[in-house]
Amino acid sequence: MKVLVHNDEPKRWQEALAARLPEAEIFTSAAPAAKRREADYLAAWKPPASLLSELVALKGIVNLGAGVDALLNNPELPAGVPIVKLRDAGMAEPIGDYVRYGLLHFQRDFDRYRRQQHAREWREHTMCDKADWPVGVLGLGAIGARVATMIAADGFPVHGWCRSPKRLDDITCHHGDNGLEALLSQVKSLVLLLPDTPVTRHIINARTLALLPEGASLINPGRGTLIDEAALLDALGASTVEGRLRGAVLDAFPEEPLPETSPLWSHPRVWITPHMAGPTPLEVALDQVVSALRAFEAGEPLETVDPGAGY
């Protein structure tokens, strides 16, 4: 078994995989082209088209993250090669903490207190109880379901949405177009944890933003393509006049790094982080990667990505 590794820490992953798979030959994308072409399997995060075009003997791909949009949209992705992605792999906990921060930021009025600090204004706001702060979570996959459960345990009423019916303890689940509208109409904070697919792109647009109650907030640790940026800016309002949307905490963007010219950088009711909400813990992810590679090699069944669905 010959495994090619490509990500931001290829040497670290090469060494870790070699220790766990002594029977395999593990090399990185820095290897000579002739060696790269021998790869049976690719374990990678956002491999370039130039690399994929070389890999003519691949039997399988392990995507080193939960989002597969960059891989599926790569023009050199080999047709018919099965893809396995990481499912949670330790990412849900830090993403849940990121969402918790965003919720408390708005529920406890930290955004307003920050603006008051700049204005040297001493004024206390009446606290809204968590029980009176309904939260919507769009996307109830492995990560979304875990995050929804975490914030429900914190005392927030949680509404979850996905394309097909689902049941989760302590979560009010919705599905389909009607379910999405019902959810949006009653939540004070909306959390986006959907995959990037043709169906979900710009799911947050002028129409859906208008369904949110006045003063709602948005938290996106998911995919940048879920949001129509022009509609978001319009809902946020001008820098000095608050729009119908109170604020947004954003970790993902259609183009990354976020261009310096983006108006999001300077908007006073937008908080930007550099796609750091859910780092992939190496040791936890290794279990899934090793298991997938061994299953590929043994011809065992695997839960693979559906390119048509986008996840």
How high is the pLDDT of residue 60? 98
In the prediction, which pLDDT does 291 show? 97
Rounded Cα distance between 311 and 292, Å, is: 16
Q: Model-level pTM greater than 0.95?
A: no
d(CA 247, CA 111): 8
Q: What is the spatial distance between Cα 80 and Cα 94, in angstroms, rounded to a whole number?
A: 34
CATH topology of domain 2-87+280-298: Rossmann fold (3.40.50)
Of 113, 215, 106, residue with least CA distance to 156: 106
Q: What is the mean pLDDT of each run of 10 residues along the chain (311 residues)?
A: 96 97 97 97 97 97 94 96 93 97 98 96 98 98 96 98 96 97 98 96 98 98 97 90 91 96 97 95 93 98 94 91
Is residue 223 annotated as part of the catalytic site, yes or no? yes
106 φ, ψ to 5°? -90, -45
Catalytic residue among 100, 112, 275, 294: 275
Would you list the domain boundaries of the chain? 2-87+280-298, 92-272
SS (HEC) of 199-223: CCCCCECHHHHHHCCCCEEEEECCC
Burial class (CB in 10 A: 0-12, 13-18, 19+), 294: middle
Distance, in Å, from the CA atom of 191 to the CA atom of 66, rounded to the nearest integer, reads 17
- Helical residues (DSSP H) of 186-279, grouped into ranges: 206-211, 229-236
Reported as type and span, the H/E element at residue 245 is strand 245-250
Query: Are domains 2-87+280-298 and 92-272 of this chain identical in fold?
Result: yes
pLDDT digits over 158-208, tens only?
Answer: 999 999 999 999 999 999 999 999 999 999 999 999 999 999 999 999 999
Helix (H, G, I), strand (E, B) or coil at 161: strand
Question: Does residue 202 carry a catalytic annotation?
Answer: no
Q: Does domain 92-272 have CATH number 3.40.50.720?
A: yes
Catalytic residue among 223, 246, 269, 294: 223
